[in-house]
Structure 1
Amino acid sequence: MAAALASCDMAAIVEAIRLSCGWSQAELARSVGYSQSWVSRVVNGQQSLTLDQVRQVAHRLDIPVHLLRFASSGPIPAPTAPPRPAAVRAAGEGKGADPTRRRDFGKAVAMTALPLPAAPGCGDIDETTALTLRAITGGQRRLDASSPARDLAKAAVAHLELSGRTLARARRTPFAADVAAAASEAAGFAAWLHADMGDAGSARSYYRTAVERARQSGHGLLDVYMLGSLASFEIDAEDPELGLTLAVEAGRRMGDDAHPTAQAWLACVRALGRAGMGDAAAAHREIARAEAAVRRPDNAAPPWPWVFAFDDAKVAGYRALAAVRLRRPGDARTAFSDAFGGTRPGAKQGAVLLVELATAHADAGDVDEAFRLASEALRTGAAFRSERIIGRVRRFRRGYRGPRARCVSALDEQLTALLTGGSPPAGRG
């Protein structure tokens, strides 16, 4: 600690204090008033601190300036603040520090005690700004589970524009990286909504913004998440070769030592790309990688921006989707059974999976069940005005080449009523 203070190595200082107090990074983040991601970057040497930040962190951790200066003579005064962490007390009592380095460091610390002017127009940016922006996106995401995308799109785009203007004001502040991450999340959600609305051009544009903002944030996993999301979108848009290229690039950026949730998810995205290109062996290898990752003992708490840990049921869902693309209905139906054995997905995502399951049943010759599932998915798509779901049902219908049974006519009537503004008839069993 003495050496770290003498060289102003804030990464070592902050980490030593955390260990001395027995804090988690989240607890340390609360103590210094910054986000956990900011603290993680500091500890890992990925975030340089301004003089103003050094002053703030020292104040919030009760590190007096005289202690940071390694006062060379006289006893250390009794502290008037609450007891300091043991690591800092030990450093203040250390011996043998080079006096020249003490003087140089003392000058730097003295500078941190001076108030620094804020950048023009950014006085409203602080450690709560990114959290507030992310809370708005989180609230909109929760509404997405029960609301049509069209009802949320204008608000989401307005929030994205607000995030962009806020980021412009935050560029010369210590909070720019966190605000950029929040802006990336806002752009990713806007992309998701426009994909659901069938507006592929806008969705691509917003995904590109999400990737750009993620890179500006310096958060490696956020960059991987947004690039992987764009890859998944392109695969769903029937361009598996482009999607696979993007997914492979995301994996290159992620590296081999990433959290197992991230590894499993990205392997599943690559599996869909491989399956879409007809490469069954490669798709199975990717699914096997995902299965191995989710079973690792450290796949417990997922890393942000993932909200839920990737588990066997989620991998089974991707295995089913890959089997549908490879025209292997038996494998698909078995995998769907495994996937739906746990928690059911939300209404819109569940409807997308129903169409995929319908395709598997149709390939297996179970026409009545296939069209029952497609009809159920179409009713959900109509209720949410989701072009994504409706488009998939239409694609399923175009791909059917079997006899015109009564269930086929019933789905045609539903589609016709939906397109002409009538009331879709109830599905027939």
Structure 2
Amino acid sequence: MNWSEQAIRDAARAGDYGRVVKRARTAANLSQGQLGEACGMSQSAISRLEGRGAGSYDTAQLSLVAAQLQIPPHLVGMADHTAAIVARGDGNGTDVERRNFLGGVAAVAAAPAFSMAPTQQAHAARTGQAATLRVATTAFRRLDGTTPSRQLVDTVLSHLKLTQSIAQNAESEAERTRLSAVGSEVASLAGWLHWDMGDNGSARTWYGASIKAARRAANPLLAAYQLGSLAQFEAHSGNAAQGLGLIQSARNQLGPNMPAIADAWLSAVEALAHAAAGAEGSADQALRAAARRAQQIEQEDAPPWPWVFSFTETKVAATRVSCGARLGLPRWIAREQDSTSAVMNTGHEKQRALLQLDMASGHVAAGRLDGAFTMAARALEVGLRYKSGRIVERARAVRRSYSGPTPPKVVRDFDDRLHGVFL
């Protein structure tokens, strides 16, 4: 989308933010209903927003839709300092900016309870609180790629507590259902952050809480997504049987006509679980199924919420690298290195470091120690910078995979860097 095109600039200058949204939605090839589903809003709400002209806008709804479409905030009248940090989602903000943002976004989520008259509060409870809380959750997810989980986790848990408190006091069952879905998303993020910190017990607890909340929300798509997320965690933790059982539960939630993106993603997670069990043939079969379904994603409508991320054959290739590392199959890793270049060029440094460590495992298995431990050392530095227990433990696993007699200098240097690391 060309955000500098004249029609966009004219609409933004006139305060017709609905027209900006409409052009961005059309460029993304989304219907009003699809955008509404991704944002937890109705099709009619999107229609009203797009047709509002230069009138007043519900800030929570507009922020949510703009974040979903990745519209620069100044084009929808939100060019303040905080919105700019959220929209960028990169590492350019200073630590002070991030701390200010973390405090500010929590205040935004809590603001309706303190700044509105009673009748306005009642209206917000009916129409806006779930959407407002989801904006904050989206912001925290963006920060995950550029912020140590230890800095984020307390604020995310406070955000979850706020969501649960509002849900308990909701006046209608419909609003409680919407807030349960938001709570599921926040709990899942808490699980992800604890996993990154290396606190697997807490990660498992929060992933379980996200599944329970999704079931309270009576949303099979969300429940399947959270079951798949826990399956992914268990597969990476080496618990193959649990991972495979959770994947089957997720498939049962979706039924035979599941969206292609859900099927492809679950097949990739299934491959990881088979790799954890040492089942090369089953892992290969699941990866081939994931690749076939990934080819069909573009033929369908836009992916349904919560599958709002992209899932391509490139990500299937990255999964094969991870499986190859766990199975000790350097040929799988070598075969896919070129295909994973898109993943290696993403802005999510922590994810990139984990993939580098998987590639390093392949080099160790093939006897290429210099390349293996040079790559592993670069990934370890990322883990130390972000205080990521998950990355550090994966680096230790790479080191354990080499058991030669007298280690060469590159391995000794790696040992020196690992020595005394306590996160």
State the TM-score, normalizing by the size of structure 1. Answer: 0.69
> Equivalent residue for 2:356?
354
What per-residue deviation string (whole Å, max 9, x for no partner) do you get for residues 210-235 of structure 1? 00111111221111111100011111
> Equivalent residue for 1:365?
367
- Aligned 8 A contact 1:316 1:339 in 2: yes
Separation (CA, whole Å) in 1 of partners of 2:34 and 2:274: 43
1:372–1:299 Cα change, 3 Å: farther
> Equivalent residue for 1:193?
193
- Aligned 8 A contact 1:38 1:178 in 2: no
- Aligned 8 A contact 2:167 2:175 in 1: no
SS at match of 1:125: helix
SS at match of 2:337: helix
Give the letter for the 1:369 counterpart.
G
> Equivalent residue for 1:377?
379
- Aligned 8 A contact 1:187 1:206 in 2: yes
> Equivalent residue for 1:330?
331
> Equivalent residue for 1:406?
409
Deviation at 1:122, TM superposition (A): 6.8
Deviation at 1:364, TM superposition (A): 0.7
Separation (CA, whole Å) in 2 of partners of 1:37 and 1:212: 27
What per-residue deviation string (whole Å, max 9, x for no partner) do you get for residues 117-153 of structure 1? x9xx977512211111111111111111111000001
Number of residue pairs matched by the alignment: 317
1:287–1:37 Cα change, 3 Å: farther
1:34–1:142 Cα change, 3 Å: closer
TM alignment of 1:311-330, pairs within 5 A = 311-330=312-331
SS at match of 1:302: coil
SS at match of 1:143: helix
Separation (CA, whole Å) in 2 of partners of 1:34 and 1:405: 55
Deviation at 1:300, TM superposition (A): 5.8
Separation (CA, whole Å) in 1 of partners of 2:396 and 2:359: 14
Separation (CA, whole Å) in 2 of partners of 1:27 and 1:236: 32
Give the letter for the 1:406 counterpart.
K
- Aligned 8 A contact 2:227 2:250 in 1: yes
What per-residue deviation string (whole Å, max 9, x for no partner) do you get for residues 158-200 of structure 1? 0011111112122634322221111110100011001111111
5+ residue gaps, structure 2: 1-29, 46-117
1:308–1:34 Cα change, 3 Å: closer
Separation (CA, whole Å) in 1 of partners of 2:127 and 2:258: 27
Q: Is 270-279 or 296-305 further displaced after alignment?
A: 296-305
Separation (CA, whole Å) in 1 of partners of 2:409 and 2:40: 62
Separation (CA, whole Å) in 2 of partners of 1:338 and 1:195: 27
State the TM-score, normalizing by the size of structure 2. Answer: 0.70
Separation (CA, whole Å) in 1 of partners of 2:345 and 2:291: 20
Deviation at 1:25, TM superposition (A): 4.7
- Aligned 8 A contact 1:293 1:299 in 2: no
- Aligned 8 A contact 1:247 1:266 in 2: yes
> Equivalent residue for 1:157?
157
> Equivalent residue for 1:62?
none
Higher normalized contact order (CA 8 Å, seq sep 6+, divided by chain length):
2
CA RMSD in angstroms, aligned pairs only: 2.7
Give the letter for the 2:409 counterpart.
R
What per-residue deviation string (whole Å, max 9, x for no partner) do you get for residues 63-97 of structure 1? xxxxxxxxxxxxxxxxxxxxxxxxxxxxxxxxxxx
> Equivalent residue for 1:282?
282
Give the letter for the 1:418 counterpart.
V
> Equivalent residue for 2:169?
169
Q: Is 326-335 or 205-214 further displaced after alignment?
A: 326-335
* Structure label with greater radius of gyration: 1
Separation (CA, whole Å) in 2 of partners of 1:357 and 1:371: 10
Separation (CA, whole Å) in 1 of partners of 2:310 and 2:144: 20
SS at match of 1:418: coil
Give the letter for the 2:358 counterpart.
E
1:131–1:381 Cα change, 3 Å: same
Deviation at 1:26, TM superposition (A): 2.8
5+ residue gaps, structure 1: 1-22, 40-117, 422-429
What per-residue deviation string (whole Å, max 9, x for no partner) do you get for residues 397-428 of structure 1? 12211240000011011112534x9xxxxxxx
Separation (CA, whole Å) in 2 of partners of 1:356 and 1:28: 36
Separation (CA, whole Å) in 2 of partners of 1:404 and 1:37: 62
Separation (CA, whole Å) in 2 of partners of 1:414 and 1:144: 25
TM alignment of 1:202-221, pairs within 5 A = 202-221=202-221
SS at match of 2:299: coil
> Equivalent residue for 2:148?
148
